[in-house]
A and B are shown apart, each in its own frame.
Chain A
Amino acid sequence: MRSDLVAREVLTGLRRNVTMTIAMVLTTSISLGLVGAGLLAVRTIDRTAELYSDRVEVQVALTANLSAIDVDCGQAICAGLRATLAGLPLVESVRFVSQQQAYVRFKELFAGQALTELAEPDTLPATLRVRLADQEAGAPAVRAAMAGRVGVRTVIDQRDVVAKLFDFLAGVRNVMFALALVQAVAALLLISNTVQVSAYTRRTEVGVMRLVGATRWYTQLPFLIEAVVTGVVGAVIAAVGLLAGKFLFVDRLLAENVSASVVPPIQLVDIVWVAPILVMIGAGIAAVTGYVTLRLYVRG
């Protein structure tokens, strides 16, 4: 097989069909861009989960009475609760935060805001802060162990707050993938159609090739490569689009949240990680579509 000849055929084919080729590249790139955005959302979700798994705790708030009396968890009720929690297999560690410590922390957090004026030392409960070994099963276990116990006011799972963020990110991911799927169908049909048109416009050449004994592989490879080239170009454009999206749009949008470390930023590395996946998907889908089209519609 002579690569220069195949390359010549491919270039001729792409040029001859230039409007279709452009439509095909654009549709493919939009579809792959959406897939890429979805993948980035998945990655952000993982990052966010990592970010929070270190920090998220389940807090067991003690009743006001107990909070006021027991300043170091030295008394029987609090010590008992602490022992129970520490004994749970899914719990990594338990830390006591007294009413006084909570008040100091609160004043630090909201320094300079009117809120600090409202808080008195005895308005905040003392808490047992539970760090979980198992993020999924840990919280319900803590809840179950604390249910109905004397001295417990409430159990606060910080993950409930974080969960809303995850829901949002998952929503973004699902929308991206759904749109990508719709676009992918359009891209598939376009690729299929372009291969057919391409094969039709070159039927004289293909006829002569078949007549003089060129193999099916040789007569059809140019069409396949044509499809794959558009797939790859589409993927490259999609990657460039993601880069542009990051710098022009997402970075600015997340700027506030990112600085507060609520959502981890989308990094260049992430896009570098996504780009080859897009190229592989683009090339793979184009190749398969092209091959199937040739098998179904074009006589070898």
Chain B
Amino acid sequence: MAPPAGHGELTRQDHRWAVLSAVVIRLDRVTKLYQASTRPALDRVSISVETGEFVFLIGPSGSGKSTLLRLLLREDVPTRGTVHVADLNVARLPPRRVPRLRQRIGCVFQDFRLLPNKTVVGNVAFALEVIGKRPAMIKKVVPEVLELVGLAGKAERMPHELSGGEQQRVAIARAFVNRPLVLLADEPTGNLDPDTSQDIMALLERIHRTGTTVMMATHDNSVVDSMRRRVIELDLGRVVRDESRGVYGVGR
């Protein structure tokens, strides 16, 4: 049976759109209301990020950056609107498929979130072990990633023996070891001094060059200004600026 007229065309168009522009993150008129607050945390936010982009998400505290990242990770669902990561409709994802989403997203935080009782190599391997990867595969890729983040010599150290910058490198290694489509970083330099921050940014840049899409929420204007990447600014839950080669902000 032939498909109805127009239907096949649409499908082909969708397909071309997916291949050519390869949108990896797409928020469509996303609104998020929290019960405790009258003002929406996100207010009709529409964002589209293509594969291989490096995006800064900026804005003051409470502007909705963290909420946006939580929606991408399906830690929360939007009140209205749709969220897509790659081909997954995030808000509609049944709970049992959420792990599949999270396996495609790497995550880094201000507080590193390392396991204090595991070595550097143990922390990175843990991320693969718990999603059921083969030991042989883990043995092979973990040292490669540690090499990439510059910690090959400190594989057997415990987290408390490392500096903040080194701990964040371990966290980045852990986030990247499963080769995610997207790396989300929530204030990754928030606890670090400016020099160390620059090192971490260089590392994120290196990861970005492997083809990974990076989205980084930050307050750090010097970092944003020096990179000259796409900047999406949120204020009171709305997108107030979206520039392809932006700086943190004029007059701040």
Q: Check if A and B associate.
A: yes
- Residue ranges of A at the interface with B (Cβ–Cβ < 8 Å): 1-2, 5, 204-205, 207-216, 218-219, 300
- List 29 interface pairs A-B (beta carbons < 8 Å), by A numbering: A1-B132, A2-B132, A5-B129, A5-B130, A204-B113, A204-B115, A205-B126, A207-B113, A208-B115, A208-B126, A208-B130, A208-B174, A209-B130, A211-B102, A211-B113, A212-B102, A212-B107, A212-B174, A212-B178, A213-B98, A213-B101, A213-B103, A213-B105, A214-B130, A214-B131, A216-B96, A218-B130, A218-B131, A219-B130
Q: B95, B116, B131: which contacts A212 (Cβ < 8 A)?
A: B131
Min distance, Cβ B86 to any Cβ of chain A, angstroms: 13
> With a CB–CB cut-off of 8 A, which chain A residues contact B105?
213
Chain B residues 164-213 with CB under 8 Å of chain A are: 174, 178
Q: How far is the CA of A30 from the CA of B202 in the complex (A)?
A: 62
Look across to chain B and name the residue whose beta carbon is closest to the beta carbon of A300. B95
Chain B residues 119-159 with CB under 8 Å of chain A are: 126-127, 129-132, 135
A212 touches B132 (CB 8 A): no
Q: Mark B55-75, 1 if CB is under 8 A from A, else 0.
A: 000000000000000000100
Look across to chain A and name the residue whose beta carbon is closest to the beta carbon of B118. A205
B107 touches A211 (CB 8 A): yes
Please count how many residues in chain B sit with their CB below 8 Å of the partner chain's CB atoms: 24
Look across to chain A and name the residue whose beta carbon is closest to the beta carbon of B106. A212
Given A204-B115, A300-B95, A2-B103 contact (CB < 8 Å): no
Min distance, Cβ A200 to any Cβ of chain B, angstroms: 16
B103 touches A212 (CB 8 A): yes
Q: How far is the CA of A211 from the CA of B69 in the complex (A)?
A: 12
> With a CB–CB cut-off of 8 A, which chain A residues contact B99?
213-216
B115 touches A205 (CB 8 A): yes
A210 touches B102 (CB 8 A): yes
Q: How far is the CA of A211 from the CA of B174 in the complex (A)?
A: 11
B100 located at the interface, meaning its Cβ lies under 8 Å from any Cβ of chain A in the complex = yes
Min distance, Cβ B122 to any Cβ of chain A, angstroms: 11
Central interface residue in A204, A210, A211, A219, by most chain B CB within 10 Å: A211
A2 touches B107 (CB 8 A): no
> With a CB–CB cut-off of 8 A, which chain B residues contact A215?
96, 99, 131
Min distance, Cβ B175 to any Cβ of chain A, angstroms: 8
> With a CB–CB cut-off of 8 A, which chain B residues contact A209?
130
Central interface residue in A207, A212, A218, A219, by most chain B CB within 10 Å: A212
> With a CB–CB cut-off of 8 A, which chain B residues contact A216?
95-96, 99
Q: How far is the CA of A208 from the CA of B106 in the complex (A)?
A: 11
Q: B73, B104, B127, B132: which contacts A208 (Cβ < 8 A)?
A: B127
Min distance, Cβ B178 to any Cβ of chain A, angstroms: 7
Q: Mark B69-111, 1 if CB is under 8 A from A, else 0.
A: 0000100000000000000000000011011111111010000
Min distance, Cβ B143 to any Cβ of chain A, angstroms: 18
> With a CB–CB cut-off of 8 A, which chain B residues contact A5?
129-130
Min distance, Cβ A160 to any Cβ of chain B, angstroms: 64
Q: What 8 A-B pairs come out closest when comparing CB atoms? A: A213-B103, A213-B102, A214-B130, A212-B127, A213-B99, A209-B130, A215-B99, A211-B107
Q: How far is the CA of A216 from the CA of B135 in the complex (A)?
A: 21
> With a CB–CB cut-off of 8 A, which chain A residues contact B104?
213
A2 touches B131 (CB 8 A): no
Q: A1, A211, A213: which contacts B100 (Cβ < 8 A)?
A: A213
Q: How far is the CA of A87 from the CA of B9 in the complex (A)?
A: 94
Min distance, Cβ B102 to any Cβ of chain A, angstroms: 4
> With a CB–CB cut-off of 8 A, which chain A residues contact B131?
212-215, 218
Min distance, Cβ B42 to any Cβ of chain A, angstroms: 21
> With a CB–CB cut-off of 8 A, which chain B residues contact A214?
99, 130-131
> With a CB–CB cut-off of 8 A, which chain B residues contact A204?
113, 115-116
A2 touches B101 (CB 8 A): no
Q: How far is the CA of A209 from the CA of B102 in the complex (A)?
A: 10
Min distance, Cβ A16 to any Cβ of chain B, angstroms: 10
Central interface residue in A209, A216, A219, by most chain B CB within 10 Å: A209
> With a CB–CB cut-off of 8 A, which chain A residues contact B96?
215-216
> With a CB–CB cut-off of 8 A, which chain A residues contact B115?
204-205, 208
Q: How far is the CA of A210 from the CA of B126 in the complex (A)?
A: 12
